[in-house]
Amino acid sequence: MAEECFGSSPPLSLGVEEELLLIDGDGRLIPAAEEVLESVAGTPLAKRVSAEIFTEQIELKTGICREAGEAEEQLRELRRSVPEAGFELLACGLHPIANGGEAVLVDKPRYEIVRKDLGALLRTPPCGLHVHVGMPDPETAIAVANAFRLYLPVLQALSANSPFEEGVDSGHASARTQVVRSYPRFQVPRRFRDYAEFLAVADQLITAAGVDDYTYIWWDVRPHPRLGTVEVRALDVPTEPATSAALAALVQAIAAMEIDRPSPSTLHREALEESYFQAARHGLEAEVLFGSERLEPVREAAARVLEAVRPYAHQLGGAESLAEIERVLREGNGADEQRRLARREGLDGLLSDLIDRSR
């Protein structure tokens, strides 16, 4: 296991990563990741733009941010910069109409293990939103990562933004989640007793998978010792940066609240995994387990979380960003909006709208 760097950045600082698709002027996937990286080489963007698993995909990464508004500004600038270099971006969990056979894995040793494990099961590139929160020490990181498992169904329902796959309504609010669930090591993790147990499990899993390090463990939430953070990975990438920033503000405020007053829970991993699936399937109409052993509407759970974290968001400078979460609860998530647009304008109209809003 790499040396841990907890405490190297300010506690509760933010880092946000958006996985985005590369498309041509007609909205078709293009394998241009290497060209994008070459276009930004030697510029300040070089540290903020990286390749992902597929050649039709890139990742945009903020620096270390104090609050969500700063992260939003950086994401907007990054999204502007890539088109200025001649490449179009699409921000949604899955391309709504692309054929899965159009995508190609990046030809790098890091992703050879993915090719070996998945074979012909590789499908259209899935795009997620990853939120890092700085942790002061390893044991706090474990406690916060454990706690975030309880919030994954709520975060999933709020972020779901991929109802269509290969031109068909999947029936899921987040079809992206069903795609990545076919990958190895994508799951809700167990609850860890302490940092030592996390290290023992991670080292054993690294050996079993035949991979180099823990960054191949793609759990829905994980401690990230190399960066000194807890990373929430279970979200669809939103179409607009404001929603990415709002989800980051919510994650940051939840982390602060859990450090201040941890939430007790008797829910087991298997029940949390099922509630996460229900949120991916039904979005904001799901019923989930949250904090107790009875089902409740995920909208009610989300509203309760929002009110509970609001004081922490004020302290952290993210309160204004949470207005976007309130809008999502009123008007629907990205999946709801995609379906409304598809009914009104067809899939071609939906794609055109997604491209415009991704800019």
> Strand 88-90 vs strand 57-61: parallel, antiparallel, or unpaired?
unpaired
Could you tell me the two tokens for 268? 């087991």
Contact 16, 131 (CB under 8 A): yes
The residue with tokens 């609001």 is 310
pLDDT attached to residue 45:
86
Q: What's the pTM?
A: 0.96
The residue with tokens 């692309």 is 98
Q: What is the DSSP string of 229-240?
A: EEEEEEEEPPSS
Q: Which residues contact 62 (CB under 8 A, 6 or more apart)?
A: 14, 15, 16, 17, 48, 70, 71, 74, 75, 78
Contact 88, 95 (CB under 8 A): no
Distances (CA, A) of 77 to 43, 115, 119, 257: 14, 33, 37, 30
Q: For the beta carbon of residue 25, count every other beta carbon within 10 angstroms.
A: 8
pLDDT attached to residue 120:
62
pLDDT attached to residue 359:
85
pLDDT attached to residue 65:
98
pLDDT attached to residue 235:
98
pLDDT attached to residue 134:
98
Could you tell me the two tokens for 90? 């699409």
Contact 40, 31 (CB under 8 A): no
Identify the sign of the CA torsion 230, 310, 266, 300.
negative
Contact 40, 46 (CB under 8 A): yes
User: Which structural domains are found in the chain, ordered by start?
Assistant: 14-358 (3.30.590.20)
Nearest CA-CA partner of 336 in 319, 350, 348, 323: 350
Cα 86 from Cα 265, distance rounded (Å): 49
Contacts 24+ apart (CB under 8 A), 101-106: 102/28, 102/29, 102/56, 103/29, 103/54, 103/55, 103/56, 104/31, 104/54, 104/55, 104/56, 105/53, 105/54, 105/55, 106/33, 106/51, 106/52, 106/53, 106/54, 106/55
Mean pLDDT by 10 residues, the chain (359 residues): 85 97 93 91 90 92 97 96 85 93 70 70 87 98 98 98 97 96 92 97 95 93 97 97 98 98 92 98 97 93 98 97 98 98 97 95
Residue type, 302: A
